[in-house]
Amino acid sequence: MSESHTTTDHDTIRKWATDRDGRPATVKATEEDGHAGILRIDFGPKDKGLDDIDWDEFFQKFDESDLEFLYQDRTKDGKVSRFHKFVRRSSH
């Protein structure tokens, strides 16, 4: 059975992404005054609609936007999963 998890932990997010050859990115059309817009993790091949950013800028935007990282480690059949999305932090 595939399970999803949520986290705000920067190290967990970075490890999950880099273990899958993912890089932090932002959607070009949503950038404002040189600052990151909508966040993405780019797994390649390079998406022309995305700009690579460094992890510091990625996490600054992540925290400012009050996001959580929803992700899956493995698919239902046990393969490494790339499923993820950014969601608003819950108010537990």
Tell me the C-alpha to C-alpha distance, in Å, between residue 12 and each of 18, 46, 48.
10, 23, 27
- Give the model confidence (pLDDT) of 56-86 as tens digits: 999 999 999 999 999 999 999 999 999 999 9
For the cut 90, the answer to whether the pLDDT of residue 46 exceeds it is no
Tell me the C-alpha to C-alpha distance, in Å, between residue 4 and each of 41, 64, 85.
17, 23, 11
**Residue 75 to residue 20: CA distance in whole angstroms:** 14
Residue the block writes with tokens 């797994």: 43
What confidence score (pLDDT) does residue 81 get?
Answer: 95
